Amino acid sequence: MNGRDVWVERQQAGTVMPMLHLDAQLLLGLLLLCGIGCAILYSASGASDTLLTRQLIRLGIAFVVMLAIAQVPSDVLRRWSLPLYLLGVVLLALVLVLGDVGKGAQRWLDLGVVRFQPSEIMKLATPMMVARYIHEHRMPPTLRDVAVVAVIVLLPAALIIQQPDLGTALLVATAGAFALFMAGLSWRVILALLAAIAACVPLLWMNMHEYQRQRVLTFLNPEADPLGAGYHIIQSQIAIGSGGLFGQGWLQGSQAHLRFLPERSTDFIFAVFAEEFGLLGLLVLLALYLFVIFRGLRIALLAQNVYERLLAAALSLTFFVYVSVNAGMVSGLLPVVGVPLPLISYGGTSMVTLMAGFGMLMSIQTHKKMLL
Amino acid sequence: MGIRDHLDDPLAVRRLFFFRLLWAGAVVLLVFGGLTWRLVHLQVVQHDHFDTLSEDNRIRLRPIPPRRGLIYDRNGALLAENLPSYRLDLIPEEIDDLPATLAALGRLIALDEQDIARFEKARRQHRQFDPVPLRYQLTPEELARFAVEQAHLPGVEIAATLTRWYPYGPAAAHVIGYVGAIDTDDLKRLDKRDYAGTRHIGKAGVERWYEDLLHGAPGHEQQEVNVQGRALRTLAETPQTPGQDLYLSLDIDLQLAAAQALGERRGAVVAIEPGTGEVLALVSNPAYDNNLFIDGIDSKTYRALNADPGRPLFNRALFGQYPPGSTVKPFLGLADVDIGRPLGNSGVYCNGGFKLPSATRIYRDWKRTGHGRTDLTKAIEQSCDVYFYQLSLSLGVDRIHDYLTRFGFGHKTGIDLPGERAGLVPSKAWKRATRNESWYIGETLITSIGQGFNLATPLQLADATATLAARGVAAAPRVARAAISPLDGQYTALAPALEPPVTLREPRGWDIVHGAMHDVLFAPRGTARASAAGAAYQYAGKTGTAQVFGLGQDEEYDAETIAENLRDHALFIAFAPLESPTIALAVVVEHGGSGSGTAAPIARQVLDAYLDRPALGPEQPMQVSAR
């Protein structure tokens, strides 16, 4: 209860934040993470200004998007859910037909002005659609609702798998599944679903692409091919392990700066951070991530209707999945899947999507209807 | 209507959602806890392991070759040194147009097809950013021309290295030997860590025998490298330990004098200090220029050296085995006295020949008219064969073998140079073992005048003469006297290898034989009296003229020299001064005719060169070096 009092005080103290529909604590957490991200990206890119400049521009765009979405009340967001979802599905279908091929997969859609991945839309549109459906029907959901939600979730996931982009498909499905779980999906159904997934693993294996299978095998035994498939994970663990308690210092990580570590600006930037700032730095970083996640869950707790609650919780948990999958992959707990470290890895579209999600959280937090 | 139903019970919905949030929060904490556990495991528990792997990734040890020890003669004259040599390296990565660069370089320095071919081969074995050698041993003119143009030739560098240089070349080649590129045979026997970065190894002579002292120990440079192996900076350096400088017992002036005395003749001169075994000069003629071998001799020159009938690569002093001829007579004279002079004071009557009672063959004296009444002294002075024929019957071949062996004949002297031969002193047992034949008494006769199966190297002759001069004090011949560390001046004496002295039951024998050998040079009828004319000192010697007939001969001569091949070898052994000798020597001139006519004058020149230089006593310079 004390925390709530503090929040009330903060809301009263500041006048700028409520006016801009921003949540001060969430914003602080995001800015700190982005600041750390820029510092480590500067180091990971070999003290390159160009990479950092581009990332700063992206961050600027992303924060503008966040600010814009924060101004939109959740009722409007709820009404946009269906059109946005349908638009996303159509674009995904279009990508499969006429998308650009990048790195062996069709993910990009060229709209003349910008190139973007429609699958990014679905990271937001899927939980929005699920939340809207539950909101408009009932909570907890009936079995029939579960079936409808399953279609809502699996349709975009199936389209994304076709690109093929297993990682994003799983993230999109997970975001929808989180909304369903938070809606009160009965434990019996959850257990049944988990059992079904377990049963599907061999089937999934059969349908995997060769490079995907290779990643799983490499994860299980990276030493089998230290210079080939296992190289990433071995060098990444060396970077993390050699960081020790205090790290080698900013700009001093030899694994990163002598370029032994691959993908150091993007997917493996976590290892660069671990090498240069050590365990203590990592604990600070993880604490910041925890702070952002729990701030999001708290917004969900204080939200005013089912749609808001489900959407806020699903977005926060998706963010959590990003962090833990990337950290787990880089530290050798999970197979290598192409998931960036949110707010820190160098990269474009996913940054905007993330900040758009945080904009929704802020909107939910700051557009309260006074119920007296 | 559904909406309304749920809004009817917002508390139940909120309770459900709250508990689901608790679950979610618990999972988040659990997963972050697992991550933290994993990171603690990697960064704390396994930190040392990964730290090592990280260091292995980034640090490479680059060996720094040690500076090879210098070689000096006993007076401090430099016999082997390291000269700076300039090499031209190309760094392919930094060169945009390689053919153009090569063409431009071709106008500045001499480049032949062999250089280009070697460069192209080496280039494939190097990484793009590593320097690849193009030309070795640039001349000062080429250096200067290149220096002017260097700014226009990016990626071309001059590398300074040290290359061995032998200032005296052929004069000392058979002692110093040479260094050459390390080959696969060398790799088998040496420790690769010690030779990391070293290109050369001792191949012959002192360079080979004292390789361990001369080589030193490599240093190491710790370089930080990136993932491609490019060196970024030097982190630490362990300096190289230079090899020990070697001081030889050799006297280069005497060596040059001996070589000059031999002139164009094929043969060998070995001079040894009696009592210590220190080798003062060791010449084999013809010789070769050992500088040719350092950076790899080209095959044409090598074939020419091998095909040369004078066989310049063959070290006659150590490997050449010759019948010692009459030079064995002083040693048998000692045996004569030692066994009680079986021929009595009056000796034998020499009428120019000797016939065994049971046979018809006549064993001739070199002087057909005979020497008349001959005792031991006269027999040595005038080299009477008949006296020794008669003596040999009293001694028997096995006692001859015994006495000659005690003076070092028939086995290796133990000199500190590689490859010496053992020579041969026959005995009954030897003949039985090697030929499965019994010994004939006639063979004893010719053994006593150093013919027959007898073979000795010039080194053995000098060694035995030194023992004779020192009245039995024996030491294995030694070329090196001391090693001095260039780092701290630490002096390590390479002690003479003293051997058990040769003792006689009748010490008078030394005086008698020394006196007789003095007579060889100074008595009116001494065989070598002509060569001693005008000598400023008293000395002793013995001539030898070895007949060249098939048995045990150096059979490797080829047909074109057959005629010369039939001429006798000329030998002479000597020591001086007569009282307290400081030098003993042996001279062998292949097919030189007579010992007195050819070999003895050469010995005289060498002795003059050594003894007519009072300013440079043998010990003086070493005292300076050793302080």
**Same-domain status, B522 and B583:** yes
Among partner residues B20, B28, B232, which is closest to A182 by beta-carbon distance? Answer: B20
With a cut of 80, say whether residue B26 has pLDDT above it.
Answer: yes
Under an 8 A CB cutoff, do B40 and A136 touch?
no
Q: What is the pLDDT of residue B127?
A: 75
Under an 8 A CB cutoff, do A245 and B2 touch?
no
Angle at A170 between CA A165 and CA A171, to 5 degrees: 100
Q: Computed over its alpha carbons, how large is the radius of gyration of chain B?
A: 37
Dihedral (C-alpha) A280, A284, A290, A293: value to the nearest 10 degrees?
Answer: -140
Q: Is A283 on the interface with B (CB under 8 A)?
A: yes
Distance from C-alpha of A239 to C-alpha of A271, rounded to nearest angstrom: 6
**Same-domain status, B336 and B242:** no
The answer to whether residue B550 is domain-embedded is: yes
The answer to whether residue B297 is domain-embedded is: no
Under an 8 A CB cutoff, do B50 and A238 touch?
yes
The answer to whether residue B362 is domain-embedded is: yes
Distance from C-alpha of B63 to C-alpha of B197, rounded to nearest angstrom: 5
- For residue B483, what are the domain limits? 252-290+322-611
Q: Say if strands B245-248 and B71-72 run parallel, antiparallel, or are unpaired.
A: parallel
The answer to whether residue B312 is domain-embedded is: no
Indicate the average pLDDT of chain A: 85
Does an H or E element contain B237, and which?
A: strand B231-238
**A232/chain B closest Cα distance in angstroms:** 13
- Any idea what DSSP says for residue B356? -
The ipTM, to two decimals, is 0.90
Asked whether A352 and B60 are in contact (CB, 8 A), the reply is no
Q: Is A371 on the interface with B (CB under 8 A)?
A: no
Q: Which two tokens stand for residue B180?
A: 């050459």
Distance from C-alpha of A93 to C-alpha of A122, rounded to nearest angstrom: 12
With a cut of 70, say whether residue B551 has pLDDT above it.
Answer: no
Under an 8 A CB cutoff, do B32 and A324 touch?
yes
Choose the mutation target among B53, B55, B232, B233 for the interface with A, i.e. most A CBs under 10 Å. B53
**B223/chain A closest Cα distance in angstroms:** 12
Asked whether B67 and B84 are in contact (CB, 8 A), the reply is no
**φ/ψ of residue B486, rounded to 5:** -70, -15
Average pLDDT score over residue span B220-225? 82
**3 state SS for B132-194:** EEEECCCCHHHHHHHHHHHHHCCCEEEEEEEEEECCCCHHHHHHHCEEEECCHHHHHHCCCCC
Per-residue pLDDT reduced to its tens digit, A355-371? 999 999 999 999 876 65
Q: What is the pLDDT of residue A112?
A: 54
Q: How many CB atoms lie within 10 A of CB B390?
A: 21
Residues of B whose CB is below 8 A from A286: 32, 35-36
Under an 8 A CB cutoff, do A139 and B50 touch?
no
Residues of B whose CB is below 8 A from A243: 43
Instruction: Give me the numbers of helices (H) and strands (E) for chain B, helices first please.
Output: 24, 23
**A49/chain B closest Cα distance in angstroms:** 21
Residue predicted with more confidence, B356 or B280:
B280
Distance from C-alpha of A322 to C-alpha of A339, rounded to nearest angstrom: 7
Under an 8 A CB cutoff, do B53 and A242 touch?
yes
Indicate the average pLDDT of chain B: 87
Asked whether B474 and B460 are in contact (CB, 8 A), the reply is no
Q: Which two tokens stand for residue A36?
A: 């750390």
**Mean pLDDT lowest for which of A24-28, A317-321, B331-335, B553-557?**
B553-557
- The helix, strand and coil proportions of chain A, stated in percent and rounded to the nearest 5, come to 70, 5, 25
For residue A244, the chain B residue with the least C-alpha distance is B43
**Same-domain status, B200 and B264:** no
**Same-domain status, B358 and B487:** yes
Per-residue pLDDT reduced to its tens digit, B191-214? 777 887 788 899 999 999 999 999
How many folded domains does chain B comprise?
3
With a cut of 70, say whether residue B605 has pLDDT above it.
Answer: yes
Looking at B215, B248, B281, the residue that finishes a domain is: B248
Residue A109: pLDDT band (50, 70, 90) is: low
Could you report how far apart the first and last alpha carbons of chain B are, in Å?
116
**Same-domain status, B241 and B259:** no
Residues of A whose CB is below 8 A from B6: 138-139, 306
With a cut of 90, say whether residue B261 has pLDDT above it.
Answer: yes
Distance from C-alpha of A84 to C-alpha of A82, rounded to nearest angstrom: 5
Average pLDDT score over residue span A246-258? 86
Looking at B248, B267, B302, the residue that finishes a domain is: B248
Residues of A whose CB is below 8 A from B232: 258
**Same-domain status, B126 and B261:** no
The answer to whether residue B233 is domain-embedded is: yes
How would DSSP label each residue in B479-532? SEEEEE-TTT--EEE---EEE-----S-THHHHHHHHHHHHHHHSTT-TTGGGG
With a cut of 70, say whether residue B8 has pLDDT above it.
Answer: no
Under an 8 A CB cutoff, do A242 and B5 touch?
no
Choose the mutation target among A187, A189, A258, A270 for the interface with B, i.e. most B CBs under 10 Å. A258
Asked whether B327 and B513 are in contact (CB, 8 A), the reply is no
Residues of B whose CB is below 8 A from A280: none
The long-range contacts involving B558-567, CB below 8 angstroms and separated by at least 24 positions, are B558/B309, B560/B309, B561/B309, B564/B591, B565/B591, B566/B591, B567/B591, B567/B592, B567/B593
**Same-domain status, B259 and B160:** no
Contact residues, A window 72-111, toward B, CB-based 8 Å cutoff: none
**A59/chain B closest Cα distance in angstroms:** 26
Residues of A whose CB is below 8 A from B57: 235, 238, 254-255, 258, 260
**φ/ψ of residue A302, rounded to 5:** -90, 0
Residue B325 backbone class (left: φ over 0; alpha: ψ -120 to 50; beta: rest): left
Residues of B with CB under 8 A from a CB of A: 2-3, 5-6, 13, 16-18, 20-21, 24-25, 28-29, 31-32, 34-36, 38-40, 42-44, 46-47, 49-51, 53-54, 57-58, 224-228, 232
**Same-domain status, B34 and B80:** no
Per-residue pLDDT reduced to its tens digit, B512-526? 999 999 999 999 999
Choose the mutation target among B39, B49, B223, B228 for the interface with A, i.e. most A CBs under 10 Å. B39
Distance from C-alpha of B587 to C-alpha of B566, rounded to nearest angstrom: 19
The answer to whether residue B217 is domain-embedded is: yes
**Same-domain status, B534 and B412:** yes
For residue A303, the chain B residue with the least C-alpha distance is B14
Residue predicted with more confidence, B538 or B297:
B538
**Same-domain status, B506 and B463:** yes
For residue A185, the chain B residue with the least C-alpha distance is B20
Average pLDDT score over residue span B151-157? 85
For residue A277, the chain B residue with the least C-alpha distance is B43
Choose the mutation target among A132, A242, A264, A280 for the interface with B, i.e. most B CBs under 10 Å. A242
Most confident of A210-224, A233-247, B15-29, B89-103: B15-29
Distance from C-alpha of B625 to C-alpha of B627, rounded to nearest angstrom: 6
Average pLDDT score over residue span B85-114? 86
With a cut of 80, say whether residue B321 has pLDDT above it.
Answer: yes
For residue A299, the chain B residue with the least C-alpha distance is B21
Under an 8 A CB cutoff, do B42 and A241 touch?
yes
Under an 8 A CB cutoff, do B35 and A333 touch?
yes
Q: Is A341 on the interface with B (CB under 8 A)?
A: no
For residue B226, the chain A residue with the least C-alpha distance is A258
Residue B239: pLDDT band (50, 70, 90) is: confident
**Same-domain status, B37 and B81:** no
Under an 8 A CB cutoff, do B224 and A258 touch?
yes
Under an 8 A CB cutoff, do B28 and A138 touch?
no
Amino acid letter, B531: S
With a cut of 90, say whether residue B604 has pLDDT above it.
Answer: yes
For residue B41, the chain A residue with the least C-alpha distance is A241
The answer to whether residue B194 is domain-embedded is: yes
**Same-domain status, B236 and B268:** no
Among partner residues B13, B225, B227, which is closest to A306 by beta-carbon distance? Answer: B13
pTM above 0.90, yes or no: no
Whether residue A83 is preceded by a cis peptide bond, meaning omega within 30 degrees of 0, is no
Under an 8 A CB cutoff, do A184 and B20 touch?
yes
Q: What percent of chain B has pLDDT over 70?
A: 93
Among partner residues B43, B54, B232, which is closest to A279 by beta-carbon distance? Answer: B43
Per-residue pLDDT reduced to its tens digit, A136-152? 988 888 889 999 999 99
- Chain A to chain B, count of Cβ pairs less than 8 Å apart? 135
C-alpha closest to that of B449 among B396, B371, B389: B389
| Whole-number Cα distances in Å, B31 to A174, A323, A326, B83 | 16, 10, 12, 68
Hey, which residues of B are catalytic here?
326
Among partner residues B13, B36, B226, which is closest to A139 by beta-carbon distance? Answer: B13
Residues of B whose CB is below 8 A from A133: none
Residues A153-164 as b/e (b if ≥16 CB within 10 A, e otherwise) read: bbbbbebbbebb
Under an 8 A CB cutoff, do B6 and A138 touch?
yes
Q: What is the pLDDT of residue A2?
A: 44
Among partner residues A245, A290, A306, which is closest to B43 by beta-carbon distance? Answer: A245
**B237/chain A closest Cα distance in angstroms:** 20
Residue B61: pLDDT band (50, 70, 90) is: confident
Q: Which two tokens stand for residue A182?
A: 């938070």
CATH of the domain at B395: 3.40.710.10
